[in-house]
């Protein structure tokens, strides 16, 4: 049965890659250029650790810097990919699609705790193909959102499957919560939702 449910992960990956395959030829665009290409912050592997000690300005409207964000996990992933593949945009797009597909799979598993697998699959597919969510898969600059969703859904799914909170399970939830926060500040919303969900289950 477990293998049956995991086969949906492969399904989501295939659908995501087929749906978003044109982005493989898109290169860097929009905020990607202002966040990744022009600044040299992510061009040096030595910055892989130092980004955890930096607050970085994010462009708005492609012309001016109006905001400062602390998203070190996202910046570390940027640095790792940019330096490992000599600034090629293709690995960024491939990784983004895989992360998005895994996040959709977690959404499917989460809703499967409440609904039939057919309805859960339908909800997940709607989320996957809905135009409002295409940035999560197609926009490199939205990596922080994709990571935040991935870790946030992992927290909710873990809590949903928890009957007794062992020390290992609590540590896992705390680690996922930290990773969610380090991906994007709005990860705090997932932590609030997780706390409410845990109280509801209790």
| Cβ atoms of residues 108 and 160 within 8 Å | no
Residue 85, SS3 per DSSP: coil
Distances (CA, A) of 163 to 48, 133, 152, 160, 198: 38, 32, 19, 8, 10
The answer to whether the CB of 154 falls within 8 A of the CB of 171 is no
**Per-residue pLDDT tens over the stretch 65-96:** 445 778 899 999 999 999 999 989 999 999 99
- Alpha-carbon distance of 27 to 64, in angstroms, equals 22
CA distance 171 to 71: 22
Residue 55 token pair: 């607050």
Along the 202 residues of the chain, how does pLDDT read in single tens digits? 445 667 888 999 999 999 998 888 888 887 788 788 877 878 888 888 888 887 776 554 444 444 577 889 999 999 999 999 998 999 999 999 999 999 999 999 999 999 998 999 999 999 999 988 888 888 888 899 999 999 999 999 999 887 778 889 899 999 999 999 999 988 999 999 999 998 888 7
- pTM confidence score: 0.87
Domain ranges for the chain: 2-201
Phi, psi values for residue 106, rounded to 5°: -65, -35
């Amino acid at each position: 049965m477990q293998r049956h449910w995991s086969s949906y992960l492969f399904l989501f990956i295939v659908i995501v890659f087929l749906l978003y395959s044109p982005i493989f030829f898109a290169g860097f665009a929009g905020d990607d250029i202002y966040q990744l290409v022009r600044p040299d912050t992510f061009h040096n592997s030595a910055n892989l650790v130092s980004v955890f000690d930096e607050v970085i300005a994010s462009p708005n409207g492609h012309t001016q810097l109006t905001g400062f964000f602390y998203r070190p996990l996202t910046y570390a992933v940027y640095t790792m990919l940019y330096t490992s593949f000599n600034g090629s945009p293709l690995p960024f797009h491939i990784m983004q699609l895989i992360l998005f597909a895994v996040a959709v799979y977690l959404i499917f598993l989460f809703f499967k705790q409440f609904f039939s697998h057919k309805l859960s699959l339908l909800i997940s597919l709607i989320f996957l193909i809905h135009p409002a969510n295409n940035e999560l898969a197609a926009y490199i600059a939205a990596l922080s959102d994709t990571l935040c969703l991935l870790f946030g859904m992992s927290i909710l799914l873990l809590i949903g499957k928890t009957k007794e909170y062992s020390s290992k399970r609590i540590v896992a939830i705390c680690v996922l919560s930290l990773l969610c926060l380090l991906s994007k500040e709005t990860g705090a919303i997932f932590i609030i939702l997780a706390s409410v969900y845990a109280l509801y289950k209790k």
